């Protein structure tokens, strides 16, 4: 289900969104005054409409999608003109062949999901600290790379991460050493850290192991699910997987570049803008901020409208890609196959039946496009 992760504005997409070079301005430190000040509002709506019109607090992944996996009330071909060669795109071999670095990155990501943290590993973590239940400035970070055993953090912090897995969320309790500088809470009240016990909520996003991968480890951890018993088999699997993904990505990129979009249906705009704001609203909650404060502190944006506009190109790519899937399905006369929908039924509870039906239909579209492509 790698495309489901890509469809959700999370992880890779969100990491590239508000914090990219295309952001609103120079991002402020989370420990600066900007993190606690409410930025001045602006009257100008975003390119997609006023932020206040997007009900992101109630976003669901099936929002705007009907029971057939189509966008509600939308005939995509009224908005999209596909290129004549949409079903037989030419793909140069050299542009889709995975590099050794690509394969290693994919291996690292897979291993990250099965490894437990050991000394010498580098973990990417989110953390939020509090003293007596009050979060303090400078005690929160997202996407921080920490080498376990480096002694970078307060004594005992890194030790309590050992043994956990990627995806785990847990508390780490430590005591600040004497002489540690005071800080403040979000309201500016002084919080004394020296000698204070602090509780950090920690989430492990990923693990980069600090040891050499062996056949024994592969056989012990990846044989049951993937049938893999050696490092060479793992490399072959990741090469094959990446090659298939690269084909899909090349085709989608080609269609995005060579299709014509007359406008964007509001129902699709609402879905992706709400998904974006919903994700960052959750990030803001985790950091003890409002979404507006978070947009200012992390991306230098003076309003939610500016926060949306800063990522208009990325959001348009997602919106246009969604339109393309349905346009191809309409042109080819495809509808969601019940067996394909059932294949992804485990995601119904988290994403809703309509989203899963659309995902299954999109998979059928991709299969059609890949089969028709010409490798040169």
Q: Does residue 218 lie in a domain region? A: no
Residues 158 and 265 in one domain: no
Q: How many CB atoms lie within 10 A of CB 55?
A: 12
Partners of 206 in beta bridges: 124
Q: pLDDT in tens for each of the 376 residues of the chain?
A: 433 433 433 333 333 333 333 456 544 333 333 333 444 444 589 999 999 999 999 999 999 999 999 999 999 999 999 999 999 999 999 999 999 999 999 999 999 999 999 999 999 999 999 999 999 999 999 999 999 999 999 999 999 999 999 999 999 999 999 999 999 998 999 999 999 999 999 999 999 999 999 999 999 999 999 999 999 999 999 999 999 999 999 999 999 999 999 999 999 999 999 999 999 999 999 888 999 999 999 899 999 999 999 999 999 999 999 999 999 999 999 999 999 999 999 999 999 999 999 999 999 999 999 999 999 8
Residues 337 and 283 in one domain: yes
Residues 263 and 370 in one domain: yes
Note the residue count of the chain: 376
pTM: 0.74
Query: DSSP character for 176?
Result: P
pLDDT in tens, 265-319: 999 999 999 999 999 999 999 888 999 999 999 899 999 999 999 999 999 999 9
Range of the domain at 273: 2-82+259-375
Q: Does residue 274 lie in a domain region? A: yes
Query: DSSP character for 325?
Result: H
Residues 272 and 368 in one domain: yes
Query: CA-CA distance, 143 to 133, in Å (whole number)?
Result: 23
SS3 71: strand
Q: Structure tokens of 105?
A: 């990155």
Query: CA-CA distance, 351 to 268, in Å (whole number)?
Result: 16
Query: CA-CA distance, 270 to 50, in Å (whole number)?
Result: 11
Query: CA-CA distance, 149 to 159, in Å (whole number)?
Result: 8
Could you give the number of structural domains in the chain?
Answer: 2
Among candidate residues 145, 122, 111, 108, the one with its CA nearest the CA of residue 15: 145
pLDDT in tens, 325-358: 999 999 999 999 999 999 999 999 999 999 999 9
Q: Structure tokens of 20?
A: 């990219």
Residue with tokens 């409409």: 49
Residues 201 and 281 in one domain: no
Alpha carbon 373 to its chain's center: 28
Residues 71 and 128 in one domain: no
Q: Does residue 92 lie in a domain region? A: no
Q: Does residue 105 lie in a domain region? A: no
């Amino acid at each position: 289900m790698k495309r489901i992760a890509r469809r959700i504005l999370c992880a890779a997409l969100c990491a590239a969104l508000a914090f990219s070079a295309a952001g609103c301005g120079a991002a402020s430190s989370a420990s600066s005054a900007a993190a606690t000040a409410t930025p001045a509002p602006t009257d100008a709506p975003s390119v997609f409409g006023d932020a206040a019109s997007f009900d992101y607090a109630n976003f669901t992944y099936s929002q705007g999608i009907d029971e057939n996996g189509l966008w509600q009330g939308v005939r995509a071909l009224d908005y999209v003109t596909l290129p004549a060669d949409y079903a037989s795109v030419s793909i140069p071999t050299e542009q889709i062949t995975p590099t050794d670095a690509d394969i290693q990155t994919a291996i690292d990501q897979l291993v990250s999901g099965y490894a437990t943290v050991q000394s010498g590993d580098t973990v990417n973590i989110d953390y939020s600290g509090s003293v007596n239940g009050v979060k303090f400035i400078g005690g929160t970070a997202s996407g921080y790379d920490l080498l376990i055993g480096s002694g970078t953090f307060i004594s005992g912090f890194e030790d309590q991460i050992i043994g956990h897995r990627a995806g785990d969320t847990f508390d780490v309790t430590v005591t600040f050493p004497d002489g540690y500088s005071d800080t403040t809470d979000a309201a500016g009240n002084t919080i004394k850290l020296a000698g204070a016990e602090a509780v950090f909520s920690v989430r492990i996003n990923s693990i980069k192991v600090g040891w050499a991968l062996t056949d024994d480890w592969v056989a012990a951890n990846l044989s049951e699910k993937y049938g893999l018993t050696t490092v060479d088999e793992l490399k072959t699997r990741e090469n094959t997987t990446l090659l298939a993904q690269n084909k899909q990505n090349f085709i989608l990129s080609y269609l995005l570049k060579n299709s014509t979009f007359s406008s964007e249906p509001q129902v699709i705009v609402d879905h992706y803008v709400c998904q974006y704001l919903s994700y960052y609203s959750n990030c803001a909650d985790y950091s003890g901020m409002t979404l507006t404060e978070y947009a200012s502190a992390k991306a230098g944006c003076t309003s939610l409208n500016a926060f949306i506009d800063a990522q208009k190109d990325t959001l348009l790519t997602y919106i246009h890609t969604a339109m393309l899937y349905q346009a191809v399905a309409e042109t080819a006369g495809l509808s969601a196959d019940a067996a394909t929908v059932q294949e992804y039924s485990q995601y119904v509870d988290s994403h809703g039946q309509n989203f899963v039906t659309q995902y299954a239909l999109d998979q059928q579209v991709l299969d059609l496009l890949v089969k028709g492509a010409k490798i040169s």
